[in-house]
Amino acid sequence: MTSYALFLGCTIPARQPHYELAARKALTKLGIELVDLEGATCCAPPPIQSIDLETSLAIAAYNICLAEEADLNILTLCTGCFESLTIANRLLKENRELREKINKILSNAGKEFKGTKEVKHYLQVLMDDVGVNHLKQNVVKPLNNLNVAAFSGCHLLRPSELLRFDDPERPRIFDTLIEVLGAKSIPYKNKLRCCGGLLRGYADDIALAIARDKIVNAYNAGADCISTLCPFCFLTLDLGQMLIKTTYKEEYNLPIIHYAELLSLSIGVEPKELALDFHKIKVDKVLEKIG
């Protein structure tokens, strides 16, 4: 059994337990052991990077230190955490001057970044540790050609120079993992474009206009659902449709489903074992189509 330090971040455990629940069930079922780290903090995502980049690196490095001490690689669910932690891990491993600077800060808290561990998104764990073939063998309830609009979110892919997850212009990993479950990953306009989520709270009108584009493009392409990996994309597109209804007087009712939920359903987790009532846009149509 492969073990990872599960880095939950802030939003998933406190706002989207349906994501955490599905991910824990699916990954455990596929033979991945998840260890909860003691004392982990916020990963220092873009809002904190906007205040001070050096502080953000120090906070991310602190959390990586916790995994180094536990002798475990890190597994993230949230793409925001994946980005913050991966950038810090790569920069500090590859830039000695910066590492020394950050370690000087960390020494005040009794920590030292050694650069001995990897940060992985759970899709990488599915590809590398579980493997596509083994995953395929575990699919007991194929998703019946469900039309899925894959939306990885920006920070799984970009900045590609540091994240090195997939080809940033023609990514295939997420689509492959959707199709292994028996669904179709459909093409749609501006698939790789941002959801606007990070502008929520500062420029809500612009954020909503960008989110609406995403919904409209997936809807027009005949999607049964949009599948997400990032809790902010989920929020922006799921709750966003309620706001689109009041602001634009348009109703799409397009279910937004975290990939971990689709994965769980396909490998035999019953819908009632998941927390599907946390979706603002109900997923009943998707469940019906899967059968």
Partner 1 sequence: MTEEKPLDFTREITSRLGGETITHCYQCGTCASTCPVARTTERYNPRQLIRLALLGQRDEVLKGDTIWLCASCYNCQERCPQKVEVADVIYALRNMAIREGNVPAIYMEFATGLMSEGRLAPISKFLEKKRTEYGLPPLKPANVEALKIILAATGFDKIMFKKEGASP
Rule CB under 8 A: which residues touch partner 1?
8, 10-11, 13-15, 17, 20-21, 24, 36-42, 45-55, 58-59, 62, 105-106, 108-111, 154-155, 158-160, 168-169, 193-194, 196-199, 201-203, 206-207, 209-210, 213, 275
Determine how many CB atoms are found less than 10 A away from the CB of residue 134: 12
Determine how many CB atoms are found less than 10 A away from the CB of residue 50: 10
Find the shortest distance in angstroms from Cβ 179 to partner 1. Answer: 25
Q: Is 257 helix (H, G, I), strand (E, B) or coil?
A: strand
Q: Pull the structure tokens for residue 178.
A: 């959707």
Query: How long, in residues, is the chain?
Result: 291
Find the shortest distance in angstroms from Cβ 186 to partner 1. Answer: 21
Q: Is 32 helix (H, G, I), strand (E, B) or coil?
A: strand
Q: Is 3 helix (H, G, I), strand (E, B) or coil?
A: strand
Side by side, the strands of the sheet bearing 32-36 are 32-36, 2-7, 74-76, 119-121
Find the shortest distance in angstroms from Cβ 145 to partner 1. Answer: 30
Residue ranges of alpha helices (H) inside 180-250 are 204-220, 231-248
- Cβ distance to partner 1 smaller for residue 15 or 136: 15
- Cβ distance to partner 1 smaller for residue 163 or 290: 163
Find the shortest distance in angstroms from Cβ 286 to partner 1. Answer: 20
- Cβ distance to partner 1 smaller for residue 90 or 285: 90
- Cβ distance to partner 1 smaller for residue 169 or 288: 169
- Cβ distance to partner 1 smaller for residue 160 or 253: 160
Which CB contacts under 8 angstroms, 24+ apart, belong to 47-53?
47/198, 49/84
Tracing tokens 């009712």 back to the chain, one arrives at 253
Find the shortest distance in angstroms from Cβ 9 to partner 1. Answer: 8
Q: Which residues pair with 4 in a beta bridge?
A: 34
Find the shortest distance in angstroms from Cβ 184 to partner 1. Answer: 26
Q: Pull the structure tokens for residue 76.
A: 């993230």
- Cβ distance to partner 1 smaller for residue 10 or 132: 10
